[in-house]
Structure formats: C-alpha cells, structure tokens
Amino acid sequence: MASFYDEMAGNKTRTYLLFVVFLFLIFLVSYAFGVYVGVGQYGVSFAVIISVLLTLVMYYQSDKIVLASTGAREASKNEFPHLVHTVEGLAIAAGIPMPRVYVMEDESINAFATGRDPQHAIVAVTTGALKKLNRLELEGVIAHELSHVKNYDIRVMMLATVFAGAVILLSDLFVRSAFWGGGNRQGRGGAGFVVLLGFLFAILSPLFAQLIKLAISRQREFLADASGAQLTRYPDGLAAALEKIGKDGARMQRASEATAHLFISNPFKSSFTNWFSTHPPLQERIKKLRAM
C-alpha cells in the first residue's frame, strides 16, 4: 500500500523529469534553428522573453479571468456557513492563509482553485457539489483544491506554459525562415541533413510541447490528490467524491478549454486519448486513493 509521502514524492519527481524533457526539447529546436540561421541564441532569447511577458499577464490576471468566465460569486458566511467553515478549518490544517471562497451556480459537481500564491488564493465550488456531496466528500474536494494552492501549482503550470510558448515561438520562427528563405545558406549547405531533421522537428515540436504540458498538469492532479488525502487523513472521502463526479450526468454550463485544467475534474467529456487530457482518468485517481 502506497503512503501519502510515496505518492507525493513520486509525482514531484515525475514533474521534474517532465521539465527536463521540456528543456531538452527547447535545446533541440534551438540547435536546429541556430544551424539554419546562425543566430539561434537570439531566437531563444526572443522566444523566452515573449513567452514570459504573455504568461505573466495571464498569471496576474488569471483569478479575474476565471471568475468572470465561470460566473462565480463570493460566498458569505451567512449564506454558505458550512462551506466557509470547512475551507477555513482545512486552510488552518494546511498552514496557509484563508483563501477567498466563491460559489458557481451550476448543477454539476466541480471545484477549482486559482491565485498566484497562497496569499492571493481563491477556492470555488459549484452549487451541485454542495448539494450532492456529503460532508466527508466535500472536505476531500476542498482539501484537493487547497493542496493546489499549497503546492504552488499555478506557478508550476505558468512555468510549463512559458516553456511551451518558447517551443512554439521557436518552431514558428524556424518554419517561417525556411519558407521565406531567410536562413544561413552556408550553414544549410554544411549540415543539410541536420537542417531537414530540424525542420521536421520544428513542425512537430509544438505538439510535443503541448503533450508535455498536459502531462505535467496530470501529475499535479495526482499530487493534489495525495496531498489532499494527507490533509484530511481520509482518502476515501475524495475517492467517493470522484466516483460521484464520474457518475454525475450534469455538465458545466460555463467552462472553457483555457481554464479546464484548474478544475478538480475536466468539465468537458473528452473523447480524446488520455495523452490529450488535462486530468488523469478518474478511475486511476480513485484506485490510487483507495490504495493509500
């Protein structure tokens, strides 16, 4: 039987390995681009700077964007006393500041956490979750979301987004240079085979980058499951909640692909392979929780 600590350590290690793969991918695209135009290091700097700027805007405005897109409203103690007290108690147990609590008017069972750090965190749950989950299940869901806050998953995904953006921009520069004939002819002649491979790789690398980013997102979900179970000391509560989510027929009325990775469960019923999903399969998550 896996312990909380084994699961947490394993998922952190896999996240680090995925970032190593990300860096290697950036290096390969940069090398091919450098052979082609002779100024690869400047291409890398440009791609990284643009990616960082765009991501920082999203990073600091993500809470406002998510709240607006979901129509969430702040939960008062008078209207939702049990929810607010549950979040407050678990936040104290997790050793993080009390986040702002929001409610989404939606019949589906779902929740999300956002905010750039524990001091600016938001936790939101649907009214469907409040109606359909019992006390222990709701605690499991909220503990999962608070674990995202405590583990700084927003920052982790920001870094993954920066890396993916750098790969996409470098690939785009490479392909545009090839089509417009802007490369270093001497460099192309001396390493034609390398350039050809680089060109093919540049076309495919955005897909690879997206797959790695999604894999990191899935690992952080596993980590939040394990951290949340450790926080409540009752893995079956979150496992039962995930089972109810899997059986629930209601779909979120206000959700977007841009924010899907924030939720405890993908708000869309995807028919794609797990490689293209922001979340691990529910049955796999439940199995891991039941084994703790």
Nearest CA among 206, 187, 159 for reference residue 55: 159
Q: Is 145 known to be catalytic? A: yes
Question: Annotated catalytic residue: which of 7, 137, 139, 145?
Answer: 145
Token pair, residue 89, equals 């108690």
| 122-126/100-104 β-pairing | parallel
Secondary structure string (H, E, C) spanning the chain: CCCHHHHHHHHHHHHHHHHHHHHHHHHHHHHHHHHHHCCHHHHHHHHHHHHHHHHHHHHHHHHHHHHHHHCCEECCCCCCHHHHHHHHHHHHHHCCCCCEEEEECCCCCCEEEECCCHHHCEEEEEHHHHHHCCHHHHHHHHHHHHHHHHCCHHHHHHHHHHHHHHHHHHHHHHHHHHHHCCCCHHHHHHCHHHHHHHHHHHHHHHHHHHHHHHHHHHHHHHHHHHHHHHHHCCHHHHHHHHHHHHHCCCCCCCCCCCCHHHECCCCCCCCCCHHHCCCCCHHHHHHHHHCC
Taking the alpha carbons at both ends of the chain, their separation in whole angstroms is 6
d(CA 210, CA 137): 32
Mutual angle of helices 192-232 and 153-180, in 10-degree steps: 170
Which residues are catalytic, by number?
145
